[in-house]
Amino acid sequence: MFLENYKSGWQDFFEDIKKEPFYIEMMEFLQKEYETHVIFPKFEDVFKIFRLVEPEEIGVIIIGQDPYHKKGLANGIAFSCSNDQKIPPSLRNIFKELNDDLNIDHFQNLDLSNWVSQGVFLINAIMTVRSGEPASHKNIGWEHFTEKVLDFINKKNEKIIYCLWGNFAKRIYNNLRYNFINKDLTISSAHPSPFSYHLFKNSRPFSKINEKLCVIGKEPISWDK
């Protein structure tokens, strides 16, 4: 159903996941959803993130909840949106913290594809949503899919930095199967939504990520791209 012209390193993952009963049922459900409702992101963008980076290149994982549910925003990357849109509140707060943390102004570029290409895996745990209905595709199988994706990445990479924004991301992280995740490489804070921005503010995740990347011998992220 979805465009799966993913990077070659994901081939084994998708070959295996397509055989899973939960995945087959979820795809059948989503086929009907796209036929009968307005669903975001566009079906060709649902797996966009897998087209931007090889699993072996991932050094940082940031977990979102589900895509933006307003027209034109969701583009297949957590927190990211198209540059012809008005900036969503959570993304605005992320950029405010980036500016405070590293003095980087990212407000004119709302598309975070370049972060993903550098190894920052921005994945929504729930990868589709009905227009105007946040969390409408919760519990259809996406959360299980995402956990399998992250377990696959963890097997491919000895050291991964997890940046957990909010309790939802922390629950997904705590459900991961592989117990060799390095807790010392995990960064936690509140979610950047307007409801918890006062707790997210001054958390400085971007400089912390780069510091930890340097410790494990990886290139820091150019957050200005």
Question: Which domains does the chain show, CATH number per domain?
Answer: 8-215 (3.40.470.10)
Q: Would you call 108 exposed, middle or buried from its count of C-beta atoms within 10 A (0-12, 13-18, 19+)?
A: exposed
Supply the pTM of this predicted model.
Answer: 0.95
Provide the annotated active-site residues.
66
CB 67 within 8 A of CB 129: yes
Tens digit of pLDDT at every position of the chain (225 positions):
676 788 999 999 999 999 999 999 999 999 999 999 999 999 999 999 999 999 999 999 999 999 999 999 999 999 999 999 999 999 999 999 999 999 999 999 999 999 999 999 999 999 999 999 999 999 999 999 999 999 999 988 888 999 999 999 999 998 886 655 677 899 999 999 999 999 999 999 999 999 999 999 999 999 999
Residue 3: what pLDDT?
A: 65
Q: Kindly give, in sequence order, each residue whose CB lies less than 8 Å from that of residue 23, ignoring residues fewer than 6 positions away.
A: 17, 141, 145
